[in-house]
Amino acid sequence: MSTIERPGKIIALHLNYPSRIAQRGRTPAYPSFFLKPISSMAASGDVIERPAGTELLAYEGEVALIVGTRVRRVTPEEGWASISGITAANDWGVYDLRHVDKGANLRNKGGDGFTPLGPEVIPAASVDPTALRVRTWVNGVLRQDDTTADLVFPFGTLVADLSQLITLEPGDVILTGTPAGSSVAVPGDVVEVEVDAPTAPGAPSTGRLVTRVVEGTTPFAEYGAKPHVDDLQRVEAWGDAETAGVTVPAPFVLTHELRDKLSSAAVATISAQLRKLGYPHSSIDGVHPLVPGTKMIGIARTLRFVAHRPDLFESHGGGFNAQKRAFDSLTEGEVLVIEARGDATAGTVGDVLALRAKTLGASGIVTDGAARDSAAVAAIGIPTFAQAAHPSVLGRRHVPWEVDATITCGGTTVVPGDVVVGDDDGVVVIPQQLIEQVATGAADQEAEDAWVAARVAEGHPVDGLFPLNAEWRQRYRIWREEQA
């Protein structure tokens, strides 16, 4: 084991451990890094100030890699071979300042003492990089406990990726992400981080990296950003809503009762109800079901394509792109709504992805572009609404861009969580806050229209009957009371 020299660079990774990724609810496609100032480095036994006026100083126990040789444009195998040592790190951050530079993280993670390292270094050659363990204790209570067995981005990959554009020098430090269990520390807390290799000969360990939290006394100046937090930051800092003391609204549920009301109502009727409420542009124009007679009801998820451009398709079109992520993350009762800018000259959904949506229990697919393999998609049995069919693949016209953003599909805005209803007349989008009102109003309107149709079938003229005048409306009320 050896001591830690002052590094030239400290580079930190945002997300890597599956346990932490599950907490955050987003899976990164590629490693994402940020820099920490050398002045943030601290040693075991040092104190860290919680800045005056802040409340969310959070610890993140991590494995730190120490670069041993000059590295530029290496492979992942060469990347791991360039690491000379492993030590423990605590990637401290103050969530109260994330509003200033989230992503860059300079202020919220770059303060003096915000990167303790040590106390000992394990020679990298003596351990398996997939068999390390990182643990964090707060006041003697174990809070983080995970291994490097299933990292999304192995250590060698991190080095190789960074070395594509950045020369890594001996002594540089790479922080490799934190597992679940990161939370908030308060003044008086003692936080300890240890990295070890329990299955390696001699079970080498860094020893415990100890940091004591104290309260800062110097207030922020008027010319800089002030601390600011909201409930979302509190939940992310503490790790969950209950620990943070935050009441999270119950998720929206499309109940059986609401589904039944919407099922009994035509899209045309629902559209009329929305128009009455001041939403005249609620229809996704130009789309039709691949199978006539289809009825679709579900909660919107969204996918957006941008117009094809070679460089963007190269960076966003391959691998586990936004289109594949969207389809692969659908859950029961959801409808994937796709913004393709009304361009139906290339496919936006095909049989394989439609089958994936079907097996996941999704309720439907809507695209203002084209469906490819349209007969096969129709045969799969998932309700699918498209502007047209087209044989061309996605890359002719589109680039998969983003998932679960607010989009414009067929001329109407779709927000994730909206309720989407489709039939032979087309598709309408109901804002979540209007669902009870629209569903009840549409069901009532269908009942009234059925009664009016029965009167017309009996031979009554439509004048005064459609729409109901005062006399006919009184007759209808009497009839409804008799049916009750």
**Where along the chain do its domains lie?**
10-244, 280-430, 437-483
Average pLDDT over residues 102-123: 93
Exposed / middle / buried, residue 478 (Cβ in 10 Å: 0-12, 13-18, 19+): exposed
> Which residue did the predictor score with more confidence, 243 or 175?
175
CATH superfamily of 10-244: Fumarylacetoacetase-like, C-terminal domain (3.90.850.10)
CA–CA gap between residue 173 and residue 157 (Å, rounded): 15
pLDDT at position 3: 65
Is the pLDDT score of 305 beyond 80?
yes
**Rounded average pLDDT over 16-27:** 88
Give the chain's mean pLDDT.
Answer: 94
Q: What pLDDT does 247 receive? A: 85
Residue 46 scores a pLDDT above 80: yes
pLDDT digits (tens, 9 = 90+) for 131-148: 999 999 999 999 999 999
Nearest to 427 by CA among 381, 469, 396, 383: 383
Domain 280-430 in this protein, CATH class: alpha beta
Q: What is the DSSP code string of 248-314?
A: PPPPP---HHHHHHHHTS-HHHHHHHHHHTT----EETT-EESSTT--EEEEEEEEEEEE--HHHHH
Neighbours of 272 (CB within 10 A): 19
Q: Which of 6-10, 25-29, 344-348 has the lowest mean pLDDT?
A: 25-29
pLDDT of 415 higher than 50: yes
Average pLDDT of span 292-296: 95
- Residue 100: per-residue pLDDT: 84
- The pLDDT score that the predictor gives to residue 1 is 44
Token digits of residue 293:
């007679």
Query: Does pLDDT of 24 surpass 90?
Result: no
pLDDT of residue 10: 98
- Cα 97–Cα 100–Cα 106 angle in degrees, nearest 5: 75
Question: What span, in angstroms and rounded, lies between the C-alpha atoms of 279 and 295?
Answer: 22
Q: Give residue 83's identity as a one-letter amino acid code.
A: I
When computed from its CA atoms, the radius of gyration of the chain, rounded to whole angstroms, is 29
Residue with tokens 């119950």: 250
Q: What is the pLDDT of residue 319?
A: 85
| Strands across the sheet containing 57-58 | 93-94, 57-58, 184-185
pLDDT confidence of residue 454: 92
Model confidence at 461, pLDDT cuts 50, 70, 90, reads very high
Cα first-last separation, the chain: 83
Q: Which two tokens stand for residue 116?
A: 């303790």
Query: What is the pTM for the complete model shown?
Result: 0.60
Q: How far apart are CA 463 and CA 454, in angstroms?
A: 15
Q: What is the pLDDT of residue 270?
A: 96
DSSP string, 89-129: EE--EEGGGHHHHTTT-HHHH-STT-EEB-S-BEEGGGS-T
Q: What is the pLDDT of residues 228-281, one digit of tens each?
A: 998 888 998 998 888 999 887 778 889 999 999 999 999 999 999 999 999 999
